[in-house]
Amino acid sequence: MAITVPHRVLSVDEAATRLTTPAADLDIGVLRDLPLLVVEDAHLLPPEAAASLARLPVVSIGLATPGSAPAFDLLVEDAVDAAGIADGISGTPRAALACCQVLRRGEGLDTPVGLLLESTAYGTLQSGAEFANWLEGRGRRVRPAEAEPPVLVEADDDIVRLTLNRPRLRNAFSAAMRDALVEALRPLAAPGDSRQVLLTGNGSAFCCGGDPAEFGTVADPVAAHLIRSSANAAPWLDRLADRLTVRVHGPTVGAGIELAAFAGRLEATDSATFSLPEVSMGLMPGAGGTVSIPRRIGRQRTARMCLAGTTIDAATALDWGLVDAIVE
């Protein structure tokens, strides 16, 4: 039997009362054994009560139509959907909350500040029990040395083609691949370089996410934060966005879609699928996804992908605005 995170379904009137009391923080929140709050008719919640949701350490789910209740972390159609999300975060409620808090506070931030917020929260989760439990269950993995370069570069006068090149591992995003991608992007940001940039991936997938063998390999979360915040490829992709096209195919997971979403133009083949599984690992998007993806699909749909473990196809991604075109 699935274990469900403790949650409470409130009528909009009950929610309005409880959310506006001075003791709301003593009653609602992950430290009060109530990490998930569900409100019926969420679009009718008074503004004062809705504003308190941003301050409380609780994941808020509104039962309402998309776009009708922006104060909530995510919106679903009915209580059955809400219960499904509760099931999905049963092992990682604190990671779910941290993810939603970053998405709330990240709205409107510029890229460097948004990435710093994300990395700080991600580093906190790296030292938490939920991620430790995931690591223990995963077991130890070791990768052999790889002879081929992790990123291929082909440049001419008009365009630079960059190709992720770990096809045997579906282009799992390793530290070596990150560093190689940054080194390929860095000179393209030099004054006077106006060439178009095309980023693709070799093999059956554009990028299946971070390399599982490397999760948890930096024991000190502070050191991991400093590496992540200084070596991330996201700032370079964002800087080059106006002339950057990313073309994805196959499973595009975690870091794969987080980085791709910074592009000014993001294309997908029919085979492409998209997911953000980090919360289920006791983490949250950490390659820039809390910045790049909400800019394309909004924070509520981003939160739903993270918390529900939703995988969406190319047609849905196009409908949501996650990708700009479907190509052959």
Phi and psi torsions of 199, nearest 5°:
-115, 125
**Average confidence (pLDDT) per 10 residues, the chain, 328 residues:** 63 95 88 87 96 94 95 94 90 96 96 96 94 86 83 96 96 96 96 96 96 83 86 96 98 98 98 97 96 98 95 98 97
Residue with tokens 């190319």: 314
For domain 111-326, give the CATH superfamily. Answer: 2-enoyl-CoA Hydratase; Chain A, domain 1 (3.90.226.10)
Structure tokens at 89: 């975060």
Residue with tokens 């196809």: 313
What is the C-alpha to C-alpha distance for residues 256 and 274, in angstroms, rounded to an integer? Answer: 9
Query: d(Cα 215, Cα 99) in Å, to the nearest integer?
Result: 18
- What span, in angstroms and rounded, lies between the C-alpha atoms of 185 and 129? 36
Strands 273-275 and 36-39: unpaired
Looking at residue 138, its pLDDT comes to 81
Helices 175-185 and 221-231: angle between axes, nearest 10 degrees? 30
Beta strands in the chain (DSSP E): 7-10, 36-39, 59-63, 74-76, 151-155, 159-164, 196-201, 244-248, 251-253, 265-268, 273-275, 312-313, 325-326
The pLDDT score that the predictor gives to residue 215 is 84
Cβ-defined contacts of 81-86 (< 8 Å, 24+): 82/7, 82/9, 82/36, 82/38, 83/4, 83/7, 84/308, 85/36, 85/61, 85/304, 85/307, 85/308, 86/4, 86/5, 86/7, 86/36
Return the pLDDT at 3. 45
pTM for the full predicted model = 0.93
- Show Cβ contacts of residue 145 under 8 Å, excluding neighbours closer than 6 positions: none
Q: Which residues of 89-110 are buried (b: 16+ CB within 10 A; e: fewer)?
A: bebbbbbbbbbbbbbbebeeee
